[in-house]
Amino acid sequence: MKFLMAQLTTLLQTGARQSNVRLLVRFLILLVGIVTLYSVLFHVIMEYEGQSYSWVTGFYWTLTVMSTLGFGDITFQSDLGRIFSMMVLLSGVIFLLVMLPFTFIQFFYAPWLEAQNRARAPRALPAGTRGHVIITAFDIVTANLIRRLGQLGFESVVLVDDLAQALELHDLGYRVMVGDRNHPDTYRNLRVEDAAMVVAIHDDVVSTNVIYTVREISDQVLIVANADEDDSLDILSLAGSRHVFQFHRLLGQALARRVLGVSLRANVVGRIDDLVIAELPTMATTLVDQTLLESSLRERTGVNVVGVWDRGSFHLPTPQTRLDPSTVLVVAGTDEQLEDFQKAVQNPDAGDASGAPDTPPRPAGPVLILGGGRVGQAVAASLKARGVEHRIVDKSSSIGKRNRRVITGNAADREVLERAGLDQTPSIIITTHDDDLNVYLTIYCRRLRPDAQIISRASLNRNVATLHRAGADLVMSYSAITTATIVNLLRPGRQLLLAENVNIASIGLAPHQAGRSLLDLNLRQKTGCSVIAVKRGARQLANPDPREPLEAGDELVLVGDADRLAQMAARGVAG
């Protein structure tokens, strides 16, 4: 009953809706008047024929005839009565079967449905909305971003300019708001001044307009944008975006870093205050064929191995984790500790003619890049900067005209691949934006070169596992790279997304945990998360002694499952 009253109140709020209801009421009064008139005439004609019925029977006959039910239990005997019956029947068809449904839909149901739709896709956020993330476009990338933001406790709102799309997204479980993305009032209604971030991932022209419009309302809100073209980097920054990325280039660089033998130096992937998170391949180091326990890295250098990439899979290590040439370590420590770490694991036999210790042995053949799009070009630029020979295979002849390293042809043609150096290549990187094609090429290349390293791009996260099953050693998702980059800006110094479901976060110590050591807390066995640092006031203790008692007010920097860390962060305490 309360729900019905609330709906009726909503329906009667505006003048237009009140007018519609008045028209509906007038029609119903007219209909009741006609039914009453017919009932009276029914009695008059029945009296004329010498028949007598009650008033209830008169209304009963009128309604059955007007609704075309016509039970036939009450009939006229005279021609006058039959003519009257036909008149009642025809008028009933018009009033009850045509005008009443139309009037009800037009003046009651349609406004009610519109009110419902507007409630599902509002044009303004409620007062008091704060700390939300505004996303001005929706696609597979932002869908993944919204899911990750929800896991981290951030509320997101998708701005849509089409009501039908907004309703569809609402039905899928997304929070949406309808509005013109190029109108300042839209962002006032979105309460942009109280938002944590605005994400503008459109083409460069649309993003520029969006950013400039947002800046009319707020100078402080954090705006993140993607630039498709190099020339747009400065334009988007001048428009007001605090952070402008080229996510295709970030993906290309990440793919290139995974090529075996590209670099022996640690690659910094993020920082939490003074704690540096870096990746280092074990190829050409003294760590190959050792377990972490045997390497004694923590005792020798002070760094903590917080994760291991093993043939494309990221997992938390154990003392018995064995390192092979394809392993990439994720380590945490200070800058000094990382420097000591690199010196300690350096293989004295590694290096080139110049004697540079961070230069890996050159591969026997060029690295193959299948796909010459933006990601493929970014991979090629990164390999070129590192002095790694490579070849791009692409169908487009226009790409080949600009680059002598491009082999024009179909990547699914063995002759084309052999011309590019298939028999000698140590690594094959598949970079097309079509996941179906990437799966096909992965299977094809794995059959032709079972011993080669195969790295593939995935556009959809759900295809990551499929590409691994197809034979890829490593799969990197465009949406995962984009999500990690954006999410890490929301809590700088407090969280860092390492992989699709692996996070590093800073979480407060529960009051009852003060005075206990990390060994006593046993967080790894209880939560699956490992402590890599302790924040104590202005100090940060990297890789702390697990036997040292913790103090009240300490914050633990943990690495582990992103969902579990999000749950702990929502409670505000570790454990």
Same fold, 133-245 and 367-479: yes
If one compares 374 and 167, the residue with the highest pLDDT of the two is 374
Question: Does residue 465 have a pLDDT over 90?
Answer: no
**Which residue's entry shows tokens 């996941």?**
435
Q: Model confidence at 119, in pLDDT bands (50, 70, 90)?
A: low
* Per-residue model confidence (pLDDT) at position 401: 64
CA–CA separation, 28 and 35 (whole Å): 11
CATH 3.40.47.10 assigned to domain 367-479? The reply is no
Average pLDDT over residues 91-106: 81
Residue 220: per-residue pLDDT: 92
Residues in the chain, overall count: 575
The first and second tokens of residue 397, run together, are 């002849």
Q: Could you tell me the residue ranges of all domains in the chain? A: 2-120, 133-245, 263-345, 367-479, 501-571
CATH level 3 topology of 133-245: Rossmann fold (3.40.50)
The two three-digit tokens of residue 210, written as one number = 């969006």
429-453: average pLDDT? 94
Task: Please give the pLDDT value at position 357.
Answer: 44
Q: What is the pLDDT of residues 208-262, one digit of tens each?
A: 999 999 999 999 999 999 999 999 999 999 999 999 999 999 999 888 877 866 6
CATH 3.40.640.10 given to domain 2-120: no
pLDDT-based confidence at residue 11 (cuts at 50, 70, 90) = very low
The whole-number average pLDDT for the span 427-447 is: 95
Report the distance separating Cα 512 and Cα 14, nearest Å. 56
pLDDT confidence tier of residue 524, bands split at 50, 70 and 90? confident
At residue 392, does pLDDT exceed 90? Answer: yes
One CATH from 3.10.450.50, 1.10.3720.10, 3.40.50.300, 3.30.70.1450 for 263-345? 3.30.70.1450
Q: How confident is the model at residue 8 (pLDDT cuts 50, 70, 90)?
A: very low
User: Directed axis angle between helix 478-490 and helix 247-257, to 10°?
Assistant: 110
Do the beta carbons of residue 275 and residue 473 sit within 8 Å? no
Domain spanning 501-571, CATH architecture: 2-Layer Sandwich (3.30)
Q: State the chain's mean pLDDT as an integer.
A: 83
